[in-house]
Amino acid sequence: MVKPMSRRVFLKAAGLAAAVALLPVRARAAQGKPRNIILIYADDLGYGDLGCYGATQVATPHIDRIAREGVRFVNAHSTSATCTPSRYALLTGEYPWRRQGTGILPGDARLIIEPGRTTLPALLQRAGYQTGVVGKWHLGLGAGHLDWNQDIAPGPLDIGFDYCFLIPATGDRVPCVYVEDRRVVGLDPQDPIQVSYTKPIGTDPTGRDHPELLKMHPSHGHDQTIVNGISRIGYMTGGQAARWVDEDIADTITRKATAFIEKYRAEPFFLYFSTHDIHVPRVPHPRFAGKSGLGPRGDVIVQLDEAVGTLLATLDRLGLAEDTLLIFSSDNGPVVDDGYRDRAVELLDGHRPAGPLRGGKYSAFDAGTRVPWIVRWPGQVRPGVSGALVSQVDLAASLAALTDQKLAADDIPDSLDVLGALLGRTDRGRDHLVEHAGVLSLIQGDWKYIEPGQGPRMNVNTNIELGNVPQPQLYHLRDDLGEKTNLAAEHPQRVREMAARLRDIRQQGRTRPGPR
Ligand code: NG6
Ligand code: CA
């Protein structure tokens, strides 16, 4: 557990401390602002997938370095067990299950965050940071019926980002092109793009009809338009010159991320670097193929780690590391077979993507949302391990506090200021947390309650236990981290209380204390 941090910035010299203590609160907070903030957000990376979280078969030296130099959280959560809702919460500070339409989006979905809303990037923009997002988006683009050949709006530039370079949805969904600011990159106007999620479009072969053209075959779903020898979810036609090459995605987005850092090296910046790794399709660059011994899933973990290393080296080279608050996390828990026959299951070889946790991506058990989370800010964050309960929904309020931004009553409604915990100064984070998969769960202290659901109990395709059963479940996480023993029958009163609290949280429509 992290020991209370010496408030080093203020207390270094007693005289300085006395002088600082006399400053008004606002000025003091401003003094503690980081020059830069970088959020590295991995995709589908599990609690057990990194060396610093106990993995022994795959080496992640760069991410382990952040852990060594920062605080590593062991009870930190994405809000949801899948991507779109977790990212929605990260950027809006609102639990996604409060809103319809925040589930896994198709690649032609409209933007689900309304322009004008107070978002994490908008708060940081207001605080004077140059804000950029590079990598996976998956929150929709446009206002419906988007024409990919024209200006793409609304998008990230309309909800608080100054710059974007995007994978619009996921690596396994069309359109398989990058979007920079408002345009598809490298698009030939003579070869316009069209996208459909309802019916085949154009004459491109599909994986269903032409499996002989595939270099990677689906195990479930993923049998529509073939791009780069890999069949995807959804149909697209045109845009040949703009199509990405999966093997180069990590290098391309890492280059864009480092270019952003270089460009704004003399100004405060906030970079949201959202990797494609380690989502499917797992197609590493040839220099990583076979490197992990665990097949493509392990290889793309190594590739992810190298991308992080490139960012760290860029910060070191530019002399920015000391002044940069760096946060590393993942959008949801791990999955081994997520729809392509990449031999991830066969080659697992004892590696445990979820570590000691039960479930995985899609699951109400803790592996769904308890994710790696590391915070580094040299000189400010004392290295250690923290058991504080924190959620990604809290980043907005915490970074608003850090950068001294005022919030209106209705802003970021579920986001709590857990800055002290994030900076390793206290072990107290939230006192409770709602986890979201098919059903909701409530964590309160050492206890976790999973509400009854209509199933299915298992996701047969991914072979993941979803924890969605008709009976209430109650686990004592401190004694039973693996959620093996359902104690609901032994503690009916606690079950009733936690169910009632969950009902209240739903009904109140917010977590952050309101006005008055
Ligand atoms: C599922 C996909 C899965 C993945 C997931 C989204 C099928 C059968 N499965 O529907 O492969 O794309 O959606 O993952 O299509 S996430 O990390 O973006 O939430
Ligand atoms: Ca994900």
Q: Identify the residue whose C-alpha is closest to ligand 1 atom 7.
A: 221
Calpha distance 27→108 (Å, rounded):
45
Question: What is the position in ligand 1's atom list of the atom closest to the CA of 172?
Answer: 12
Q: Identify the residue whose C-alpha is closest to ligand 1 atom 15.
A: 221
Tell me if 277 CB under 6 Å of ligand 1: no
| 138 Cα: distance to centroid of ligand 2 (angstroms) | 10
Residue 44's nearest CA partner among 357, 275, 300, 333 is: 333
Contact call for residues 441 and 22 (beta carbons, < 8 A):
no
Indicate the SS3 state at residue 48: coil
- Range 272-304 burial, b when 16+ CB lie within 10 A, else e: bbbbbbbbbbbbbbeebeebbebbbbbbbbbbb
For a mutational test of ligand 1's pocket, the pick from 338, 340, 463, i.e. the residue with the most ligand atoms closer than 8 A to its C-beta, is 338
Question: What is the position in ligand 1's atom list of the atom closest to the CA of 86?
Answer: 19
Indicate the SS3 state at residue 273: strand
| Ligand closest in space to the Cα of 137 | 1
Q: Each residue of 3-45: pLDDT tens digit?
A: 433 433 333 333 333 333 333 333 333 348 999 999 999 999 9
Calpha distance 1→72 (Å, rounded):
10
CA–CA distances in Å: residue 428 to residues 2, 389, 413, 441, 505: 10, 7, 20, 20, 20
For a mutational test of ligand 1's pocket, the pick from 84, 87, 88, 104, i.e. the residue with the most ligand atoms closer than 8 A to its C-beta, is 104
Sign of CA dihedral 123, 125, 126, 127: positive
Contact call for residues 230 and 282 (beta carbons, < 8 A):
no
Task: Provide the pLDDT for residue 227.
Answer: 98
Q: Each residue of 450-479: pLDDT tens digit?
A: 999 999 999 999 999 999 999 999 999 999
Residue-range domain boundaries for the chain: 32-183+245-429, 194-237
Question: For 322, which DSSP code?
Answer: G
Contact call for residues 63 and 52 (beta carbons, < 8 A):
yes
Q: Determine the number of helices (DSSP H) and then strands (DSSP E) in the chain.
A: 11, 22
Q: Which helix (H) or strand (E) holds 307?
A: helix 296-317
Tell me if 44 CB under 6 Å of ligand 1: yes
Token pair recorded at residue 63: 């991410």
pLDDT band at 514 (very low <50, low <70, confident <90, very high): confident
Tell me if 339 CB under 6 Å of ligand 1: yes
| 43 Cα: distance to centroid of ligand 2 (angstroms) | 4
Calpha distance 395→329 (Å, rounded):
12
Q: Each residue of 268-288: pLDDT tens digit?
A: 999 999 999 999 999 999 999
Token pair recorded at residue 164: 């974007």
Residue 246's nearest CA partner among 291, 284, 210 is: 284
Per cent of the chain over pLDDT 70 is 94
| 297 Cα: distance to centroid of ligand 2 (angstroms) | 14
β-strand pairing of 373-376 with 324-330: antiparallel
Q: Identify the residue whose C-alpha is closest to ligand 1 atom 17.
A: 83
Give the mean model confidence (pLDDT) for residues 277-302: 97
For a mutational test of ligand 1's pocket, the pick from 137, 172, 461, 466, i.e. the residue with the most ligand atoms closer than 8 A to its C-beta, is 172
Per cent of the chain over pLDDT 90 is 93
pLDDT of 252 > 60? The answer is yes
Q: Is 377 left (phi over 0), alpha (psi -120 to 50) or beta?
A: beta
| 319 Cα: distance to centroid of ligand 2 (angstroms) | 32
Contacts of 508 (CB under 8 A, 6+ apart): none
| Ligand closest in space to the Cα of 274 | 2
Indicate the SS3 state at residue 172: coil
Q: Each residue of 307-340: pLDDT tens digit?
A: 999 999 999 999 999 999 999 999 999 999 999 9
Residue range 32-183+245-429 in CATH 3.40.50.1970 = no
Contact call for residues 375 and 392 (beta carbons, < 8 A):
no
* pTM beyond cutoff 0.75: yes
| 492 Cα: distance to centroid of ligand 2 (angstroms) | 35
| 333 Cα: distance to centroid of ligand 2 (angstroms) | 7
Q: Using CA atoms of 249, 251, 255, 257 in order, give the dihedral in degrees to the nearest 10.
A: 60
Q: Is 501 exposed, middle or buried (0-12, 13-18, 19+ CB in 10 A)?
A: middle
Task: Provide the pLDDT for residue 30.
Answer: 38
pLDDT of 247 > 50? The answer is yes
DSSP class per residue in 55-82: --SS--HHHHHHHHHSEEESSEE-SBSS
Task: Provide the pLDDT for residue 16.
Answer: 37
Q: Is 15 exposed, middle or buried (0-12, 13-18, 19+ CB in 10 A)?
A: exposed
Calpha distance 15→29 (Å, rounded):
18
Q: Identify the residue whose C-alpha is closest to ligand 1 atom 16.
A: 83
